[in-house]
Structure 1
Amino acid sequence: MEDKKEGNHDISKPHRDNHCQLMLAISGKFKLNIDFEIIEFTEPALLCIFPEEVHHIIEVKDPKGWMISFDPSLVNKEVLQLLENKINNPFLPQQESAFFKQLVMVMDLIEKVQLENPNIYSQKTIHSLLNALLSLIAGEIISHLPLEKEKENRGIIIKENFIKLTKEHYKTWKQPAQYASALSISTSHLNDTVKSVTGSPVSVHIQEASIMEAKRLLYFTDNTVREIAYEVGYDEPVYFGKLFKKVTNLTPLEFRKKFRDQDYPSLH
């Protein structure tokens, strides 16, 4: 975990990946930016970064632990969705807990299998251990969630499936009816359910999914506002600019300048 280079890019600079990253820190002090939120923590800590999230390390001191990068297609989809919906970054386990000791054991075993005496079954072993690790984490998260009434639980499932769809279809699905159809429920039921669980109507979440991707592109690329508007599904840059300001209280170019100057002054 000491090296700030990962693969072919410098992780101290804003970037995003098409894979997941899981970090277990057993010592050290950390400060990161993940999707425009500053996250600071000390050990022990568990951190998940999901595909397309713009992130970079701002500061790290005396780090020790493990970082695993993996393709989402290699792991159980239900477990991965639960982690994406429920984990709070960073997840802070108790150092003396059985859960933390089990995390260390599995991480250490994955490292040993990867480094010591590799054979034709090593990758399959690592994939199995990775799924076991993620299931272990999911089980710990679930154990800390409050027990929900059946009706409330159904609403949360609908909300989480809807949010997942917005991340996949924000560019082309702009109407609530499209999401309701995909979930096999009425538009009014979807809107009532999502609003009761989150406090915001379906249309707001659809807009926020597009605006989040626009934020990432403004921050991470030098694309023009017109190009970014098109990338997130808006053919009219003026409308996009008004919507962006409504959601963020900043114009797209004000957002770009503010966050680049704030988090990485030498980015441009």
Structure 2
Amino acid sequence: MCKIDSQITRITRLAKLNKTELRNKQSNVLKFPLSPLAKAGMIIKNIEHDAHVSEHDHSRPHRDDHYLLLFASSGDLLMSIDFKNITILGPTLLLIFPGQIHYTVSAHNLKGWIISIDPALVDKEFQLIFERSFQHPLFINENSLLYGHSFTFLEQMERLQEQSANPFKLRAKHSILDALLGLLAGETSNIHNTGRVKPNRGFIIQEAFTQLLKVHYREWKQPARYAAELNISAAHLYDTIKGLTGDSVSACIQQYCILEAKRLLCFSKLTVKEVAYQLGYEEPVYFGKLFKKITGSTPLEFRKQYLDQDY
């Protein structure tokens, strides 16, 4: 435990230095698409062997339009993901979702793989399970079946990617990826006792609403607009979302908008007024009141607290 504690202390110290640099490096939030090197919606990189291969600076706050699945077999890593510093000591699995703002604070002797995955390749049922149960690093035992299977799957995907003569390698990679994601969905749902997500009408509505929200949160602020798009009544949408999440439709819309506001406040040079307009709030005063109601602080206070936060 002493070794792990000293590693965490060293990583935390580096986080303070990175936060100081962030104050001076803020710019508009960058968003990156899937690498042009990806074939058929996915690419796998060996962290140790391909450390020099990168399409963008991972130490700079950014978001991706695809999933990132990290398998750290050994070493340590400190990442910031949507305002939370995540300490990873291998062996660990971590999933970064499309749209989450993240950057690497530090890495030391890191080994393993990272896969960039087009969301279209991730089974809808797996996506729901991951949204509920894979929001934190999954620490795994080296002697466990999960570790063994994950290591084997990733190693085989890397080998297939390097082959040039096999005409069916992409199909094989997709099959192995689906098997790996299925394994992780089962493991995380067992840990959090969420069980199998049944594809019933309620879950279908929730999934469709969530996807609409991610696309239209700037211009659609009224629950009735989402209900109309889904061809259901506003009351039915309310009952469904409230029953599955515990929050009203309006609360879900506001919470998503405020999350995006936090991202823009901390990782862009936009003024509070500009953030409000970008999120579809024509009255910056109303936006400020809503932000304080949900977070407990004003937008400027939140920006200052985050950039001055001492770990």
TM-score (structure 2 length as normaliser) = 0.72
1:75/1:155 Cα in 2 relative to 1: closer, same or farther (>3 Å)? closer
Alignment of 1:1-268 (within 5 A): 1-2=47-48, 7-117=54-164, 120-144=167-191, 146=193, 158-262=205-309
**Greater relative contact order (Cα 8 A, min sep 6): structure 1 or 2?**
2
Whether the aligned pair in 1 keeps the contact of 2:189 and 2:196 (CA below 8 Å) is: no
Letter of the 2:96 partner, please give it.
I
Letter of the 1:37 partner, please give it.
K
Whether the aligned pair in 2 keeps the contact of 1:26 and 1:45 (CA below 8 Å) is: yes
Whether the aligned pair in 1 keeps the contact of 2:241 and 2:248 (CA below 8 Å) is: yes
Letter of the 2:103 partner, please give it.
H
TM-score (structure 1 length as normaliser) = 0.83
| Deviation for aligned residue 1:115 | 2.6
1:119/1:262 Cα in 2 relative to 1: closer, same or farther (>3 Å)? farther
Q: What residue ranges of structure 2 are gaps of 5+ in the alignment?
A: 1-46
CA RMSD, Structure 1 to Structure 2 (Å): 3.1
Measured against aligned partners, the alpha-carbon deviations of 1:97-121 in whole angstroms (never above 9, x if no partner) come to 2222111100001111123446554
1:4/1:227 Cα in 2 relative to 1: closer, same or farther (>3 Å)? farther
Measured against aligned partners, the alpha-carbon deviations of 1:63-89 in whole angstroms (never above 9, x if no partner) come to 111111122234434433432343232
Distance 2:294 2:187 in 1: 35
Letter of the 1:61 partner, please give it.
H
Distance 2:206 2:170 in 1: 36
Instruction: Report how many aligned residue pairs link the two structures.
Output: 263
Distance 1:56 1:122 in 2: 32
Which secondary structure state, in structure 1, belongs to the residue aligned with residue 62 of structure 2? coil
Whether the aligned pair in 2 keeps the contact of 1:219 and 1:259 (CA below 8 Å) is: yes
1:82/1:237 Cα in 2 relative to 1: closer, same or farther (>3 Å)? same
Whether the aligned pair in 2 keeps the contact of 1:14 and 1:55 (CA below 8 Å) is: yes
Distance 1:107 1:52 in 2: 24
